[in-house]
Every structure is written in structure tokens, then in C-alpha cells.
Structure 1
Amino acid sequence: MADKSTNNIELKVLVDKGSNKVIFIEPENDFVDVLFSFMTIPMGTIIRLARKHSDPVVIGCMNNLYASVENIDEQKFWIPKCKAMLLRPRNAADSHCNLLKLKLDDAMRREYYVCTRGSKFLSFDWPIKCPCPCSSVIDEEKCLRLHPSQLGSVFVKGEIRFTVTDDLQVIPPIASTNSVFTKLGVMDVDATEELTVNIGTVEMFNLLMSSLVSKTPLTETLLKPKQEPKLSSKVINQAIHFESQMFGESTNDEEGKISVKLVVSKSEKMVCYAEAGEDFVSLLFSFLTLPLGFILKNMKDGSLRGCISHLYKTIQDLDGQYMISNHHNEMILDPKLVPGFCYKKSLLGIEETSYYLVNNMLTTDRSLISTEPSQLKVIGKKDDSALGFLKGPAMFVVTDNLVVRPISRILELHILKDLNVPVTDIEDQIVHVGKKEALHLLLSSFLCDSVLTNTFVADLREPKQEQ
């Protein structure tokens, strides 16, 4: 498959001359395909690629989680591959994203292997022994079959001309011209000018990062110097409301939940740090494997300072006729994990991609299968019995902004000193993390810098104001 990452995309841009802002662009569909692919990119990939830019990019506490994985000794993971899975997570839609004209992810093409004896096992690793009685080696490489109508396109059909606004609303061509112009404030044609702009991979990634923090990412990317994006810690306190399970509130049905001990400042009503086992830390680290679209799917309107949620909603509202198939729509709006990246206590409910072998061709698209499909079981070198990425039993210290380190009393004292919290002001609180709490932890880690406090005690303190 040819690498198209060195190509440029030409954009027709309508600009308001007075304010020097983008009103809208009329791109070819190769741009819209890349725009929609934002939803499939894992958070760990976004953090890793953002580090290559001259300006630091801060996405809540995700950067701290990524750095924590880097700094934890490889021996504490089940196998070295587990650490690599977190630092370079796979995109479940990578076979499609490899077809994009601008490929944001620099990951290598994934390979697929099946057993030549006709077993129902698939592996991304080679060589690996087949667990079926044949005891053969899984070594026959297969190509992933794509939808027949995908020729020349990736997610949207090839002959449609969309309008994309500055805040990333994608307007289909059937919309009324008058209503579109009125909505976008195009009242005086003489006050506008048309520009032709060529963008490459760098500009497209800048657009992604700007969409997280700006309501005008096209203007920021195409017309203005790039400024350092930083997600606001103020927003989450206003937009996400969960009931606290602390300070005397009882928790029912604790079975299957993860227990965590929080060390809380009584006077400040904030979490100083947590003492947690490998199951809780694996949950936090798994956030790096999640696609951006999964996070947006679970986020309330208004949570983000940027407009990336506008893009997600506009894809939701698009008529299915504009997408190549329902399968392509699902890849964007309900993205899944690559098999092996999920674990038994993930709590978040995200699914893994299913693979099927049909007429000696591999596919993830059930619509291409006329008979009842037989799902392949994906096997690999990661221990299937593992409950997470880390070996257990093990204990860690987790700060409020999700810096994770092996447990140490000296470290805990340093944290209290840095926070200016006396030992006489702290108390221990036990909380139990289920699906609701896991989801709140995820959204908080994406939006703010006091994740544990926002998740467990935010209702007991005033919202933290943006600096």
C-alpha cells in the first residue's frame, strides 16, 4: 500500500476580510476523510505525535499518564509488549486510515496471519504457535478486504462536495444555500475573499489539536500562527456531574469494582494522592489506547472548550447515504479497540474489533458476508489471563493529576510537602470504582488537571477557576 503522507490537499477557503477569519472551506472528500479519521486515533498516539511539535500540547492529564508509562520499569508489565502497546497503541481502523491522502499516524502497516490448517485463529504476531490440535505455526499472511465501493474514498462517498465551517460542522450539499449563508453570516459578498491553501500532514495535525481547544480551528490553522493549545480545567467542573461516593455515603454492589484508598486533605477537600493496586493503574493506563471518538461519544455537550464535539455530532447527524457503508459510519462514531488491547476489568464497555474469514479473505465488515459469519479468535503474545497491563500484586502512588509511580512513603511525604498539606490535615477514604466512576475518570483525565478530586470529591469544593 502506497504511503500518501507526503501529499498535500488543496483547499478552497472563503475568508471574512474584516475579521481575517475563515467562514467556510469547500474541500475535496480526501480532506473530509482525514477529518473523520480523527475519531479513530488512540489518545496515546495523539500524545506521542504532539510531542514532536515545537510547542508543548497539554491534554488534561493524558500527558502525565503517557510519561508515567514511559517511566515505569518494563519489568512491572506482564511482558515488554504491554508497555509498547500503551506507548504506541494500534488504531483499529488502521487498514482504512492507511488509505488516507494525509496519514497522521506514523505506525507501520499491520500484518494478519492465520493457520494454514484452516483453524479459526488470527494473529498479528509472527511466528506464533496455533493453539488448535494441529500444532501448526500461524504464518499465512492475509490482506484485509475493504468495501467494493471504497475505490477512491475511505469513509465518505467520493463525488460529494461538503462545506466545512470554521468550527468543524460538516454541511452536506443538499442544505439550502440561503440558509447556509445566513447561518454563517455571509451577508456582504464584497467583504469576503477566496484563498487557495495547500495543507500537509503537519497542518492537519495542528487542526486536530486546535479543535480540542478552539472554536475556530480552521482560522487558527490556516490563517494565524499556531499557539500552544491547553485544555481548560474549569470546564469539567461545570459540565460533568457525578454523585460523590465519599464521606459517609455507602456503596452498593461492590463486587467487580476496584478498591482505591484516597489520601484527602480535610481542609482543602482535595485528593492529595491515591494508593492503588495494579488493577486501578491498568484502568488509567488503558485510557491511552482509547480512540478519540469513544471519549467524545461519552461526553456531554459543552464539556469541551474546543469544537471537536461539533465534528462528532455533525457526523452523527449526517444522512447515512453520504458514508460508504454503515460499517464505516460505526468505525467513526463507535470506534473499537484492536483485539488484545482490552482486558477483563476495563469497566468502560468498549468493544474489540471482530474479524471474519470469508472466501479466503479477511474482513471486519459483516455486510460483506452473505452467510452467518464465523468469528476468528485473535491470539498473541500478551498473556490472556492478565487482568491488565501490569503484573500483580503491586501497589502504586497516583497523584491528583495522574502521575503514577511505585509506592513509596518518602514519595508520599514529598507530595504532601509540594501541596503544602500537613500530615495532621489528611485522612484516608476508601472508594470503589465501577463503570460510572471509570467513565468519570476518563473524561476528567481528558479535560482537567485534578482528576481524582473531580471524580470523587468535586461536589464538596468550588469549581477551580481557569488561570
Structure 2
Amino acid sequence: MGSQSIKLKAVIDKEKNRVILAESEGDFIDVLLSFLTMSMGTIIRLTRYQLPSIGCMNNLYASVENLDVRRFRTQACKEMLLSPLNGAATHCNYLKLKIDYMTNNLEYLYCGDSECVASKHKLFTHYGGSFCGCGKPRKYSLNQLSNAESNNIVVSDPRDEGVFVRGLTRLIISDELHLMPPSATASFSLLAKHGVMDANTMEERTFDVHVYEVLNLLKSTLVSKTPLTETLLKQQRMPEPRKEDLGVGWFIKQKIGEHATEGDRKICVRLVLSKSKKMVCYAEAAEDFVDLLFSFLTIPLGFIVKEMRGYPSKGCITHLYDSVEELDTEKYFKSNDHKETLLSPKMASRFGYKNQLIGVEEVNQQYYLSGDYPCIFTHKPTNKKFSTLTMNDPKAPLYKEQAISNGGFVLGPETFTVTDDLRVTPISPVLRLSVLSQLKVPFSDIEERIVHVGNEEVSHVNLSSVLS
């Protein structure tokens, strides 16, 4: 993934072999903050083979991977879930260390006919297998130019550099990823917190942070209370979380099974429960519930953290989010918009769908095409002839101009089985018997219950499946 690195100075407690604090400039801070903009599907794709797993999200991701592509509305739907785009990609493309190579190497596909691009078929897609309004397949790539290239921008003030924070920003980072101004008060407070009273027990080290370390840090942020120590000091692998920490049975049993709320938009789910064990064995639901579950993979991590305020987390990603809120906007961030991108991150364009219960917004990204040559710009170019481009909705089966999909990702009508740990499969009598056998639940102990899922229940299943 490249050999580029960022220098990071850290103060180590030699006796406890733990990072007390680290000091960093803007490049590393930007990489840390970019975690909040990443979708859960991207995080799972990048870290799925590392231990421990992230709640039930690994199972959900594997369910998409194993589901026959013919059960999706389009081929692109499966690709969108397995490799969701970042709504803040135009910012993250400028990170010094880029860990999401798919987002950073997006293709802008069109039919290859310059007349189509310049006329009524001003549509493009990031996904193969689609067709232009003229009937030709979109398999040719438009060149993309950055904002700086399109406007010939020369940055003269180093404070204007950086991605989210200003170019000359320096901050202290605690082991729990709390970002603080580099004051003596903050440093002494962290030393006191760790019980460090003697300078002889401390050691200063400089680390070269590469993409590999960033990936470890991303995972540790979600599952560990000491991510810097786990990443920089090469601690032993973190233990696999207990089974009770991973399931969504708490959600289904406590929120859907007992307290399902009334509301305008509801999804019907049939639960199969064990009466004696008071637990959900599995659920049976139509494609609208599966669309809801699969859409969790497209949601930015920062949005989930925002929604889970007040709920416990086994990691410390909430500290990073809280730091963004607490840091002075004018002093540390490039603008209030950059700060809001982190506090309220949006999904990439066209990743939402009609009647989606999750209240996350889509980014309103506009694209422009140079009139001189098929080159695409993410910002309105200056000193060039350009026209406005429109992105196809990849979920729309018919790739015609302005074609929009009213549905989600999964083709219906269809019924699916969803286990308590979010394994999703087409309905199968064999699977039902297998689940009951594994749970040691006799047929005489089964109870069926019809429940309805609304916005409140969605919030709880989201949090339970990801961060509990």
C-alpha cells in the first residue's frame, strides 16, 4: 500500500509499557479524523481479517458477500455494499496516508461517445455493467482532475493546507484518542491520570506510522480502550470479545420483542423465540428488512457515534468524536464546514433509497465536465468550458437518463432468515432446523411473534450490531 509514513512522537510509561500521550502535526490528526467519515462496510473490508471482530458487522458483510448477485436489484448493488464510497472522498483524497485504495481510485465510466457526454446523456457511473441512454455499455473512464488542478490553485499560506484541520495544527493525543491543545496543563493532567510522578519512568520515542499501523489503529479504536498502546507498542492480540458482547439479541428482545414503538413507517418481522430461554432464535423478514440491515454497511462511523451518545462502547471512538466537538473551530479547523463534515458525516451520493428508516443524509456532490476533453471535475472549474454531469443511480435496473431506484439493494419479493448475530440468508427449512439444533431449542419450546420495526428500533440495532 505504499511506503509513505508520518512521524509521531510519543511519551511512554516504561514500567507499564503504555503510551501516555503522543504529539502530532496535522497530517496524522487528519488521518485520525478521517475514521469518522468512513462507512462501516469499508471499515469491515479493511480490517475483517484482524482480531477481534467488530460486533456482528463481519457477519453482515459476509452475508452480502455470499448472497448470489442475482438477488440484488443490480450488480452494482452488491458492489456498493461491499465497497461503499466515502461521502467525504473529495477531502480524504488529500490525506497523506490513504488506507482506502478503492475510494481513492474511483473510476468515472461513460460510453466512450463524446457526443453523448456532451449532449443529453450527461450521465456517468462508478460501477461497470451499466448502459448509457444511447444503449452502449459504460466501460470507458473519464479522467478526473483535482480542485487544485482545475483551478491552478497555488497554496501560499501553510495554514491553509491540511485536510480537516489547518496545516500548522499541533495537538496532544491521549492513549484513548482524546485530542487536546498542546498545553503544559494537558500534559501534566495525563501524567497524573496515569500515576506517573517520576520523569525517570518516562521515555520519549519517535515512531514511523505507515498504512499498516493506521489500519491497526482504526480497528483498535473500535474495540480497545488503549488503541495507541495496542498499535505503537505491538501488544499481543486483543482477546476475542465474549459472545454476549456481539449479538443483537439484546436489541431484538428488548427493543423489538417487548417495546416496539408506533410510528408512520414500519417494517414487519416474524420472530421465532425460545419461551424457556427468553431469547430470539432467528427472524424471518422480507427484503425491506434486509435492505435496512445491509444499509448499515453504507453508514459513516461518525453518524453512528453521533446517534449512540450516552450508550456504552467497548472502544474509544467516542473520545475522538467528542474532541472534534470540543476543539476551537477557528483555531484548529479549516472551516466550520470541515468540522461539520466530521460531526455529521453523510453517505455518498446515490447510496440512500426511498423509505429508508436511517436518518443519514446523502452528500450533494456536483460534477462538471470539461468542454475541451472528457475530463471530470469535482469542483466547478475556472477558465474552462464545462457542463454539468449527473451520476446514475446504480440501484436503478434501467440505466436511462435520470433513472432513479425507488427500492433498496435487494430484489423482491423475497423472504430471508436473519440469525441473532446478523447472518442473512434466503429462507431455508434446513437452516431453521440447524439454528434450533445449535441453540438446543426443542420444537415444543418455540413461540412465534410478529413485530414491527420503526425508527427507534433501527437506532438500537445499529448501535448494538456495531459498537456494543
Question: TM-score, normalised on structure 2?
Answer: 0.82
Aligned pairs (5 A) from 1:255-404: 255-301=264-310, 303-321=312-330, 322-356=332-366, 362-363=377-378, 377-383=390-396, 384-404=404-424
1:188 equivalent among 177, 198, 205? 198
Please say if 1:95 is aligned against 2:90. yes
Aligned pairs (5 A) from 1:67-466: 67-107=62-102, 108-112=104-108, 115-117=117-119, 123-124=125-126, 129=132, 143-145=145-147, 152-173=161-182, 176-185=183-192, 187-228=197-238, 230-231=240-241, 233-234=244-245, 244-246=255-257, 252-253=262-263, 255-301=264-310, 303-321=312-330, 322-356=332-366, 362-363=377-378, 377-383=390-396, 384-448=404-468
SS state at 1:354 partner:
coil
Higher mean Cα deviation, 224-233 or 11-20? Answer: 224-233
Shift of 1:385: 2.7
User: d(CA) in 1 for partners of 2:281 and 2:326?
Assistant: 42
Shift of 1:286: 1.0
Gapped runs of 5+ residues in structure 1?
449-467
User: d(CA) in 2 for partners of 1:163 and 1:75?
Assistant: 50
1:14 equivalent among 11, 14, 18? 11
Shift of 1:52: 4.6
Aligned residue type for 2:118: T
User: d(CA) in 1 for partners of 2:251 and 2:410?
Assistant: 30
1:44 equivalent among 10, 27, 41? 41
* 1:67 to 1:197, Cα distance in 2 relative to 1, 3 A: same
Shift of 1:130: 5.8
User: d(CA) in 2 for partners of 1:183 and 1:446?
Assistant: 29
User: d(CA) in 2 for partners of 1:183 and 1:197?
Assistant: 20
User: d(CA) in 1 for partners of 2:252 and 2:10?
Assistant: 40
List per-residue Cα deviations over 1:123-166 (Å, max 9, x = no partner). 445885369xxxx9998655453797786411111112111111
User: d(CA) in 1 for partners of 2:49 and 2:253?
Assistant: 36
The match for 1:454 is: none
SS state at 1:167 partner:
coil
Higher mean Cα deviation, 62-71 or 320-329? Answer: 320-329
User: d(CA) in 1 for partners of 2:80 and 2:101?
Assistant: 15
SS state at 1:15 partner:
strand
* 1:195 to 1:332, Cα distance in 2 relative to 1, 3 A: same
SS state at 2:441 partner:
coil
8 Å contact kept, 1:397–1:407: yes
* 1:250 to 1:324, Cα distance in 2 relative to 1, 3 A: closer
Aligned residue type for 1:269: K
* 1:252 to 1:380, Cα distance in 2 relative to 1, 3 A: closer
Aligned residue type for 2:22: I
Aligned length: 428
User: d(CA) in 1 for partners of 2:252 and 2:131?
Assistant: 47
Shift of 1:168: 0.5
SS state at 1:311 partner:
helix
The match for 1:459 is: none
* 1:5 to 1:118, Cα distance in 2 relative to 1, 3 A: farther
SS state at 2:84 partner:
coil
Provide the aligned C-alpha RMSD in A.
3.3
8 Å contact kept, 1:34–1:102: yes
User: d(CA) in 2 for partners of 1:214 and 1:137?
Assistant: 43
User: d(CA) in 2 for partners of 1:417 and 1:236?
Assistant: 18
SS state at 1:194 partner:
strand
Shift of 1:268: 1.1
SS state at 2:350 partner:
coil
The percentage of counterpart residues that share the same residue type is: 45
User: d(CA) in 2 for partners of 1:68 and 1:241?
Assistant: 19
Aligned residue type for 1:277: A
* 1:68 to 1:242, Cα distance in 2 relative to 1, 3 A: closer
List per-residue Cα deviations over 1:323-367 (Å, max 9, x = no partner). 1122221222211111121111321111111023689785579xx
